[in-house]
Amino acid sequence: MSSATRRTVIKYPKFAKLPTLAAILNELYNHMKLFSLFSFLQFLCLFSFGQTMQTPKDYLNFPGPVTIVKTQYNFAWSSHPNANYYKHEYIPSNNTLEKYKSMVLVEVLAGEYNPSDIAGAKVAELKKLKENNPVVNYNIFQKNEEIILDFLITDNAPNGNVNIIERNIYRYKSTMDKNGKKYLILFGISERGYGNDVKNFLANLKSNKNVLLNEMAKLPMPDIKITD
């Protein structure tokens, strides 16, 4: 596996400090050089690239649009590669799936899953990547039975320059439909900076890193109904 008229900001005590991420962002912003040994194939596994589809099928009875921080995300792509897994992607009208700057994700696993286990698997993946890429970083929070994972990853050129930087916020929650069928939902947002825009991306992230996290934390989870 992943609008409001009045904001009720959810406070996560640990997030206010983010010492490790803040230090890394500051270093990135000042030096703009990262060193990574992980291959482009690993990058393809880690980053979610959509495939263009004229009329995506609405497997989740959740056609959107989705509004987050005054940006509207329209239903753009879907996939149902196996019996238990479904994925929808939503992008702003001025983005493309191939080179998006911001994307909303809704992923569903049919069955009984523990959010901590699924998020933990992602954390293990990030820890492995961090061994060879010091910018990879994450913060994980728990509220009631829901897990929120906020993480940063990059794709770097052989000389260490950043080709793509990506910040993701994933919310994991188990739920049940009216018929008693259990699901795990990932509701997430992904933001990217490319090439020469990486510096601006980092500057904005340094200044506004809590805004998107708080917005994502307070939004209701998608109300889905699976239709094969």
Domain assignment of residue 7, yes or no: no
What are the pLDDT digits (tens) for 110-132?
A: 999 999 999 999 999 999 999 98
Domain assignment of residue 188, yes or no: yes
Domain assignment of residue 3, yes or no: no
Q: Are 90 and 96 in contact (CB under 8 A)?
A: no
**Closest among 214, 207, 202, 149 to 31, alpha carbons compared:** 202
Q: Which pLDDT band, with edges at 50, 70 and 90, does 97 fall under?
A: very high
For the chain, what is the domain count?
1
Mean pLDDT on 54-63: 90
Domain assignment of residue 148, yes or no: yes
Calpha distance 126→46 (Å, rounded): 9
pTM of the model: 0.77
Domain assignment of residue 227, yes or no: no
What are the pLDDT digits (tens) for 127-167?
A: 999 998 988 999 999 988 899 999 999 998 888 889 999 99
Query: Which residue range forms the structural domain that includes residue 122?
Result: 13-218
Domain assignment of residue 67, yes or no: yes
